[in-house]
Structure 1
Amino acid sequence: MTAGRPTASVYVDGFNLYRRALQGRQGVKWLDLHRLFSELMPEHDVVRIHYCTALLRHGLTADVRAPVRQQVYLRALRTDPRISIHLGKFRNDRRDMPVHPQQVDLETRKFVTASVRKIEEKGSDVNLASRMVAGALLGHADIQVAVTNDSDLVGPLRMLKEELGFATGIIFPMTRARSSKELVQTDPDFMTNVTEEALRASQFPDTMRDANGVVRRPEKWSWKSEGPSSLGPSNR
């Protein structure tokens, strides 16, 4: 820790961070989270980072290499002892849902439906909220900072600040104009937005090492080879 600076624990909705800040951007997915949050919070000492995500499986995305790249990235994150990873899961269900535009079946007087495959990430919101509350109660840092634009976190943030008296912060993974108004209205003690400049300044080295050997930036995530990606549920 650095004397004189307040400490911060950061809680990351990995799916939200990917979709809002990383998807389709060239060369920024090999992201050093500690470096990023230290860049965005220069007046704080970032002492803990909780990264909440879910593991991709084959069949959840058209890109068969996406689960491999995600595993490589998780290896890179685990090289930093300040980062802990908390895993939810993806739910993959067949659903009958109303077609768009809506149509009414004249015989049944019900909306016409179509069979679809619905993929939902489950657990990350709960993991993030519970870790944030636990971190505050255990005194792990002076401020608890959520990285999300998901208004489902309004309740936990309000409880921490208004009922329990803890300092809170929010890092929005997009521009200020698109930040959730509901989250802004929780009146956090610290608030900022992820920028393209901070992302580009916060990349891991192309080659790293962990206890199992060499960890390399996936080729598709390089500055030159990566192009816009299709919509998908996690780091790819």
Structure 2
Amino acid sequence: MSRTIIYIDGYNLYYSRLKGTPHKWLDVGALFRDQILKPQDPSANVICIKYFTAPVKASYARHGVASEHAQTQYHRALKAIHGDLIQIIQGFHIFGKTNMPMHVEGAEPDKQNLAPVWMIEEKQTDVNLALQVYRDAVRGECDHQVICTNDSDLEPALQLVRQDAPNVQIGLVVPLREKGLSGDAVSNKRLTKRVHWVRQHILDAELESSQLPKNVNTNKKPAKKPAHW
């Protein structure tokens, strides 16, 4: 059996596939281990799921404090269901004022026509993901890595894993809708050329069948699916 670690770029998964759907209360273990990986590699033994994200800030979230609470409930539910199998690895957000070109219909950006805006940046998530992928590979922690992202920032790490740990198999799950339903979004070729196998999409039916119970028992209060999810 191949020792397999699943790595999930939480923000990429959310904004590329889950946003605007009723499937946000997602059991990532049921989806990636059972729905996607098992048909691809029946011999895979998932030894860890690493979920990379950053805490939501109520001051900029669409639903304010409710968004913060929703993320907290979701993480509690995942830990209650999967225990030590899942690691939630968090970065952080920073805010800063900057100047950006004004949008003028039909015109190119003009650096002389700027407006002050708040710049919100997610920090450390990408580097955390890249370092964990590389470290686990070169330390011999796994035989198979399954990565859910479509972010080209991961390419250097994948390239180094292929060079320094050539026996480790790498699979890529692209968090997009089925072909023809994703608008202009496509799989990132900088990533697909660095891996051994690619899953180009995640189906609605797979998301629907991989939902957490609406109320998940924990050691404290149950974790409840947020009303706006």
Identify the TM-score tier after normalising by the shorter chain.
0.7 to 0.9
Partner of 1:219: 227
Q: Distance in 2 between matches of 1:40 and 1:152?
A: 23
Partner of 1:85: 88
Do 1:13 and 1:148's aligned partners in 2 also have CA atoms closer than 8 Å? yes
Q: Matched residue of 2:206: which SS?
A: helix
Ranges of 4+ aligned residues in structure 1 off by more than 6 Å:
none
Q: Which has the higher contact order (CA 8 A, sep 6+)?
A: 1
Do 2:143 and 2:169's aligned partners in 1 also have CA atoms closer than 8 Å? yes
Q: What CA deviation, in whole Å up to 9, does each residue of 1:73-95 have, x standing for no partner?
A: 01111121210011101111111
Q: Distance in 2 between matches of 1:88 and 1:182?
A: 24
Partner of 1:36: 31
Aligned residue type for 1:211: N
Aligned residues: 210
Q: Distance in 1 between matches of 2:162 and 2:228?
A: 41
Post-superposition shift, 1:46? 2.0
Q: TM-score, normalised by structure 1?
A: 0.83
What root-mean-square deviation, in Å, do the aligned CA atoms of Structure 1 and Structure 2 show?
Answer: 1.6
* Structure 1: tracts of 5 or more residues without a match: 105-109, 222-236
Q: Distance in 2 between matches of 1:46 and 1:195?
A: 21
Partner of 2:173: 171
Q: Matched residue of 2:32: which SS?
A: helix
Match among 189, 192, 210 for residue 184 of structure 1: 192
Q: TM-score, normalised by structure 2?
A: 0.86
Partner of 1:15: 11
Q: Distance in 2 between matches of 1:136 and 1:184?
A: 18
Aligned residue type for 2:202: V
Aligned-residue sequence identity (percent) comes to: 31
Partner of 1:71: 72
Post-superposition shift, 1:141? 2.1
Do 2:25 and 2:74's aligned partners in 1 also have CA atoms closer than 8 Å? yes
Q: Matched residue of 2:91: which SS?
A: strand
Match among 209, 213, 227 for residue 205 of structure 1: 213
Q: Matched residue of 2:222: which SS?
A: strand
Post-superposition shift, 1:213? 2.6
Q: Distance in 2 between matches of 1:37 and 1:218?
A: 22
* Structure 2: tracts of 5 or more residues without a match: 180-185
